Amino acid sequence: MKITVIGTGYVGLVAGACLAEVGNEVVCLDVDARKIGMLRAGKIPIHEPGLAPLVARNAAAGRLAFTTDAAEAVRFGALQLIAVGTPPDEDGAADLEHVVAAARSIGRHMDGYRVVVDKSTVPVGTADRVRRAIAAELAARGVSLPFAVVSNPEFLKEGAAVEDFMRPDRIIVGTEDVEAARIMRALYAPFQRNRERLILMDVRSAELTKYAANAMLATRISFMNELANLAERAGADIELVRRGIGADPRIGYHFLYPGVGYGGSCFPKDVKALVRTAREAGVSLDVLAAVERANDAQKRVMSRKIVRRFGEDLAGRRFALWGLAFKPGTDDMREAPSRVLIEDLLGRGAAVCAYDPAAMPEARRVFGDRIAYADAPLAALDAADALAIVTEWKEFRSPDFAELRARLRTPVVFDGRNLYEPADLARAGIEYYPIGRAQPNAPTGAGR
């Protein structure tokens, strides 16, 4: 099958490479000439485990190509996958400028039947806008060509996107067009050989399904974070509570880990967009509004703990930071809790030295020389008054506590991901401040 993918971000590049991997011929289109130049040179502009060899292998085999030529790309594929960004507007609505521009480009250059697939995360009703944009371009050309518009939202986790695409837990396809449904089933047949994973529905239900899924997961995160704050005040241990409620099969363990809030390119944007979509439809999503408020507050839990321990004025203090990306397995710092914590610390006069296995280049772009950077986790600790852990990278899970204590000026650890057992830190002579785990004997105050 010949496929055109419009957009080479996380979704577009992963989709293009994975579709090529199963034998399709794929052309990826992007207006960013620099990015296309990098991809043609074998360089991957994003950090995603397993993606680089996948792209290299399929490019070398001639199944995956990259171009900035819209006319060439639209003429190439009977399937046109739109995978461009939909950043939030100031009011929280998804900005569909790039989606509509892609649709217009398809209408401007198509020369036969096309199945146009919305893979970008878009609000309900976007398929109608795409359909109108294509029809308007065809009318301007004075031609009449058949096409179908399909909603096929992605459910890829950053850090596991290749695995998620190759072994999906579900494939949502929204269309009322019989031929388009047949083509989509053929497209995804290689990815569901052992059981049927494709769920066929109408377009608007498919569009809403993506937002609903992310909003549900964000809700679980914010609920657990609020429960963790209660547990800490009530003298309970949220990790035991998590195990207790997760054992209920109606609840399960996924997304029940307390922490310092969610970030990234999806949850914050999609929650805002869904609230906006509901408001436009005359519906109030009060639960999601509370989820958003709770998440914004949770991103400041670590700085509040630091202030309680060291005082309001942090001038002359230095803090080591482990983890900058919003989650492990990616270099994405969009809406990352680390950004809020760093700004809070800098605003109080503190110095920050950070380490992250993948996000250091992005951190340098965001913060420049406002913070220091270490080339290893332990190196970040030198002369620091305390360590703050923000991202749960595997290499942070089992440090040498004796070495950690020796390097810190004050043996204090603020753990935003509950990586360690309080008893282990106590035996190592380290003050430990996790999330949602009562610390009845922990010292307070600004003393050094």
pLDDT in tens, 335-369: 999 999 999 999 999 999 999 999 999 999 999 99
Does residue 321 register a pLDDT over 70? yes
Task: Let me know: does 153 contact 121? Beta carbons within 8 Å.
Answer: yes
Number of Cβ atoms within 10 Å of the Cβ of 197: 15
pLDDT in tens, 390-417: 999 999 999 999 999 999 999 999 999 9
Task: Let me know: does 389 contact 416? Beta carbons within 8 Å.
Answer: yes
Q: Quick one: average pLDDT of 319-333?
A: 96
Going by the DSSP 8-state scheme, the letter that residue 29 receives in this structure is E
Does residue 446 register a pLDDT over 70? no
- Which stretches of 235-359 are DSSP H helices? 238-246, 267-280, 286-298, 301-310, 337-347
Does residue 166 register a pLDDT over 90? yes
pLDDT in tens, 36-67: 999 999 999 988 999 999 999 999 999 999 99
Element containing residue 164 per DSSP (H, E): helix 161-166
> 57-61, 127-131, 265-269 — which is least confidently predicted?
265-269
> What is the C-alpha to C-alpha distance for residues 357 and 355, in angstroms, rounded to an integer?
7
Phi, psi angle pair for 228, to nearest 5°: -65, -40
Q: Which of 371, 376, 322 is nearest to 351 (CA)?
A: 371
Q: Which residues, in sequence order, are bridge partners of residue 171?
A: 198
Q: Quick one: average pLDDT of 277-303?
A: 96
Give exposure, 59-73, as e/b (b: 16+ Cβ within 10 Å): beeebbbbbeebeeb
pLDDT in tens, 186-203: 999 999 988 899 999 999
pLDDT band at 444 (very low <50, low <70, confident <90, very high): very low
Q: Quick one: average pLDDT of 321-327?
A: 97
Does residue 445 register a pLDDT over 70? no
Going by the DSSP 8-state scheme, the letter that residue 223 receives in this structure is H
Percentage, residues of the chain above pLDDT 90: 92
pLDDT band at 443 (very low <50, low <70, confident <90, very high): very low
Give the per-residue pLDDT at 94: 79
Give me the sign of the Cα torsion angle 29, 34, 35, 36: positive
Give the per-residue pLDDT at 53: 97
Q: What angle do the packed helices 267-280 and 203-234 form, to 10 degrees?
A: 120
> What is the C-alpha to C-alpha distance for residues 66 and 272, in angstroms, rounded to an integer?
33
> What is the C-alpha to C-alpha distance for residues 87 and 273, in angstroms, rounded to an integer?
10
Task: Please classify residue 126 by burial: count the beta carbons closer than 10 Å to its beta carbon, then call 0-12 exposed, 13-18 middle and 19+ buried.
Answer: buried
pLDDT band at 439 (very low <50, low <70, confident <90, very high): low
Q: Quick one: average pLDDT of 144-173?
A: 95
Q: Quick one: average pLDDT of 100-112?
A: 97
> What is the C-alpha to C-alpha distance for residues 118 and 127, in angstroms, rounded to an integer?
7
pLDDT averaged over every residue in the chain: 95
Give the per-residue pLDDT at 87: 81
Catalytically annotated residues: 266
> What is the C-alpha to C-alpha distance for residues 229 and 222, in angstroms, rounded to an integer?
11
Number of Cβ atoms within 10 Å of the Cβ of 362: 19
Give the per-residue pLDDT at 359: 96
Does residue 217 register a pLDDT over 60? yes
Task: Let me know: does 337 contact 354? Beta carbons within 8 Å.
Answer: no
Give the per-residue pLDDT at 195: 87
pLDDT in tens, 370-390: 999 999 999 999 999 999 999
Task: Let me know: does 145 contact 138? Beta carbons within 8 Å.
Answer: yes
DSSP 339-400: HHHHHHHHHTT-EEEEE-SS-HHHHHHHHGGGSEE-SSTGGGGTT-SEEEE-S--GGGSS--
